[in-house]
Amino acid sequence: MRNPELREPANSRPALLFPGQGSQAPGMGRDLSSVVESVRSLFDEADRALGYSLSRLCFEGPEDELRLTANAQPAILTVSVAAARTLAGRGIHAGAVAGHSLGEYSALVTAGALSFQDAVVAVHKRGRYMQEAVPVGEGTMAAIMGIDMAAVEELCADATCGPSSLVEVANDNAPGQVVIAGHTSAVERAIEMAPGRGAKRAVQLPVSAPFHCSLMRPARERLEVDLKVTTFNDLEVPLVNNVEAREIRSGAEARYALIRQVTARVRWTESVRRLVEMGFTTAIEAGPGQVLAGLAKRIDRNLKVVPAGDPSGIEKAVLTIQGGSESRAGQTS
């Protein structure tokens, strides 16, 4: 049964944003779990579904083990869903959802399209498939700062030397902040060429695989098999998906978007701008860290993003939303 709270106009409530890989840190979720019983139950559910103590990794580390892709992805998902459910328990429901890469799974759980158990198992496998798609050392990623998307796309084209040494745009994070991915040799060429194209900074990232590029095709094919037998419901609120930066509401569209995103670029700049076009002025970053809040400031300052991954963040988000409810009452969907 759908939440009766969701009958009001969608953008009279905040958008909920969910972070992707890289936001993990030892200790995440620990304070929330200690004060919210339902969060503790959620971590117990994750531990049972995965067959190992994800809660211990989140609460205690070690950091190098938590950073492993197959662990980081379910860990971030669990903390993000915990934050969203804690907010819901305080009367804060999403008017729309969006997630950065991995975060789209958290968004779909919150929107009622995917069960938490199915999602935590799926992202654990997703992380393993992505790690195994390219031998360690053969692929990498880099951040290119200070030039626009067209310039980065031209840089990637010029740094590519055929199918055995290619580099592509992976993440459009914010204006002047683009991430590229591909074969290590091609990424290194792009880094060397970037200053001559006007880039303020070009730096290789400490990642173990080249995510969101065509080299991830083996991972996409393996994940597609799993997702095709996973139940997806229609969404209770719209998702702005990061493959096309458009609103979707059907479970079939959600499944297809998750399959496509493995090899496609994350269109985060466009996704945030779409939320602003939909009338949202406030969003909550539900999950560890505050990367998305920082990116939003660079994308469109008309969208205020409040990080909420721990008890103090949850409290601030609740006060922000409740304090601004009167000013949002006149908006329509």
Answer left, alpha or beta for residue 230, where phi above 0 means left and psi between -120 and 50 means alpha: beta
Are 63 and 1 in contact by the 8 Å Cβ rule? The answer is no
- Lookup: tokens for 119: 């999602």
Residue type, 304: K
Q: Which residue has the tokens 């106009």?
A: 9
Residue 55 bears catalytic tag = no
Supply the DSSP symbol for 24. -
Burial (CB count within 10 angstroms: exposed 0-12, middle 13-18, buried 19+), residue 84: buried
Task: Give the count of beta carbons closer than 10 Å to the beta carbon of residue 290.
Answer: 18
Residue 333 bears catalytic tag = no
The separation between CA 210 and the C-alpha centre of its own chain, rounded to angstroms, equals: 16
- Lookup: tokens for 2: 């759908």
- H-type helices in 99-183, by residue range? 103-110, 116-133, 149-159
End-to-end CA distance of the chain: 22
Under 8 Å CB-to-CB from 186, ≥6 apart: which residues? Answer: 159, 160, 161, 165, 166, 167
Q: Which residue has the tokens 């992976």?
A: 170
Which among 80, 101, 106, 271 is annotated as catalytic?
101
CA distance 224 to 1: 29
The separation between CA 148 and the C-alpha centre of its own chain, rounded to angstroms, equals: 22
Residue type, 266: V
CA distance 33 to 213: 36
- Lookup: tokens for 264: 């496609």
CA distance 23 to 174: 17
Active site residues: 101, 212
